[in-house]
Structure 1
Amino acid sequence: MATAPNSGAPTLIGSVQRALRLLEAVSAHADGAPAKQLAREAGLPLPTAYHLLRTLTHEGYLQREKGLLVLGDATAGLARGRAVQNRRSKITEALARWRDVLGVPVYFAVYREGEIQLVAVADGPSAPAVEEWADFRETAHAHALGQCLLSQLDEKARQDHLDRHPVQAITPNTVRDRRALLERLAAMERMRPVVERQEYALGTVCAAIPITAGSTAAAVAISLPLHQEQRLLPAVDQLREEVGRLLDSLAFSISI
């Protein structure tokens, strides 16, 4: 009777391993290297190396320059993707830490390519996040994160956003019209918290603070049930201190 394979052992695909060894060999030569040298360094037969190098070149992971092979644009894209993933992980870790320290849900959003992007939320059973019952992108005028981001835009970008996402009341407390919103945004003090009371969701109060790092508009926010409103301003003051310390340490990046 044949012995059953060990189901717990990983299945290794030889061609993938060999291709990765070739990529590692190429990455060790900033100015490129010929195929024969790469085959030797990767410990591969020359015909196998040629076949894999042609495939990697066709897919954009390598490219030829004056007879030498160098890393291609697709490889750079992988590196950028890893860097983005690392930055997102740092953001997620920071938000989780602030949630635990403050005992409130914490949100992080950026304004990119004309839209609000809710990048990450840290909440928990004792600090639940506000349910996104109305699309955050379309209701920037109604929540603290959106108002904070809009306040950081120049007039042209702000007007463009409101042309595409008109002001409309989604609760009895939402700002009533475009003119009233623009007046509110104009009156906001730079780098001061933006506070919103039941404008996006009844029974909820929120506060957001702007983050200045490069040219990207970004904001961090917290929310609380209405009956705990007295905790809001002390918590957002503490959040500002936490964010300031992290920015000072250069461990936080919003270039995502």
Structure 2
Amino acid sequence: MKVENRTFIVSGGSSGLGAATVQDLLARNAYVSILDRSPPPEELKSSSRVRYFAVDIREVDQINKGVEGTVEWTKETSAPLGGVVNCAGVAVAAKIIDSHNEPHSLDLWDFAIAVNLTGTFNLTRLALKHLVKVAPEEGPDGERGVIIFVASAAAYEGQPGQTAYAATKGGIRSMTLPMARDLARHGVRVVTIAPGVFDSSMTANFSPKARKSLENEGIIYPRRFGQPYEFAGTVRWILDTPYINGETIRLSGAGRLPGKL
């Protein structure tokens, strides 16, 4: 699809993989609406092609306000909505039964589901109300836009302590195809990226031992953590390739998460 002078909503766009995606979209003359709890860095926030909305992805009213504000902005810029990149997410860790034989915290489970799964679903459904009304592109495909989800390697092989996290990312992976089928009549594609281990705020606190274990045992080649620009490049490829639809794409250096670190 054409990216130039289209508007994309990027949740979690103030840092990490989301910020890299924002930067790449701006380099292609797109407009970007950032929905995040924290404001983006000044170099992004000061751009005339960026609009920031303070949003807690757990709060439906805040999401709706961000979406409606974005749609109003598109009327000012004449840059119609082009899609959503759902980068907002949290990493949580807890054994189903801990070392004191206590069960997994229900509050932690609810938090992970609220942010990673329900938040992604709510932003997507509220944005789609407007995206399906956008004029289709010229050509035989008549594409209107793209929804991009972010799952994880944990959707396939979660590690000990990742029951809640893996459940949220597996849920995202599982809703990709049925949503793509739902939206086919509207000319909207749905694609999920499942990153392996990336340099991000989620992995910044890994111990040297854990990092070395992942690099030596979990990643095949290149034997390093993924970089945000590689995630952004994958988003770019998805937007540019209309035949990519209903799929979950692993971005992992052929790696598989080991059973334990």
Q: TM-score, with normalisation over the residues of structure 2?
A: 0.26
Q: Rg: which structure is higher?
A: 1
Q: TM-score, with normalisation over the residues of structure 1?
A: 0.26
